[in-house]
Amino acid sequence: MILLDETLQYLAKALNVPSHDGNLGVTTLTFIKELCTAASNAPRTAVVATLTSSNLEDYASAGGEEMQERLSKVVGRTENIVTPVEGDDIFPILHRRLFTTIGSAEDRRRVAEVGALDLQVLRGLLRAKQPVHADLLG
């Protein structure tokens, strides 16, 4: 397995670095294309490229959007998109990985009550510091 982590972030930065083919972003994209082609022809080989969807707005420049499209086309020829977890499914996974125990139902209820009180205090502070958009106040 060949892991390309945060590839779009690297390519966006590489757009500003000159190289013999124009810029380092284009040169790197050509390399990734060749790597993906070679991996698809090799047994038991995979190229995995990560792209954090929450960071897509960081690449909203014209060059960044173009690079995202080009990267998607290059790796998309053999892509298998995996979304490991979505929505509320993340919470049981975090519980297992971060805590030995999540406490009893009573413990969780008490924590939720304290959190609700903190939220009420925060809403009061926001109201006192107007103007704040109405949607933030719930």
> DSSP secondary structure string, the chain?
-EEETTHHHHHHHHTTSEETTEEHHHHHHHHHHHHHHHHHTSTT--EEE---GGGGGGG-SHHHHHHHHHHHHHHHTT--------GGGHHHHHHHHH-S----HHHHHHHHHHHHHHHHHHHHHHHHT----GGGG-
CA distance linking residue 128 with residue 124, whole number of Å: 6
Looking at mean pLDDT, say which of 2-11, 68-77, 126-135 comes out highest.
Answer: 2-11
Residue 124 lies in a domain: yes
User: What per-residue confidence (pLDDT) applies to 68?
Assistant: 76
pLDDT tens string 104-123: 888 888 888 887 877 777 77
Task: Mark whether 62 and 94 lie in a shared domain.
Answer: no
Comparing 27 with 82, which gets the higher pLDDT? 27
Task: Mark whether 69 and 7 lie in a shared domain.
Answer: yes
Domain of 71 in residue numbering reads as: 2-76
Q: Is the pTM of this model over 0.85?
A: no
Query: In the listed set 76, 96, 122, which residue is the last one of a domain according to the structure?
Result: 76
Comparing 60 with 131, which gets the higher pLDDT? 131
Cβ contact 13:58 at 8 Å? no
Task: Mark whether 46 and 68 lie in a shared domain.
Answer: yes
As a whole number, mean pLDDT of residues 71-93 equals 72
Strand partners, 16: none
Task: Mark whether 97 and 69 lie in a shared domain.
Answer: no
pLDDT tens string 9-64: 888 888 888 887 688 888 888 888 899 888 888 888 888 887 655 555 555 555 66
CA distance linking residue 58 with residue 65, whole number of Å: 10
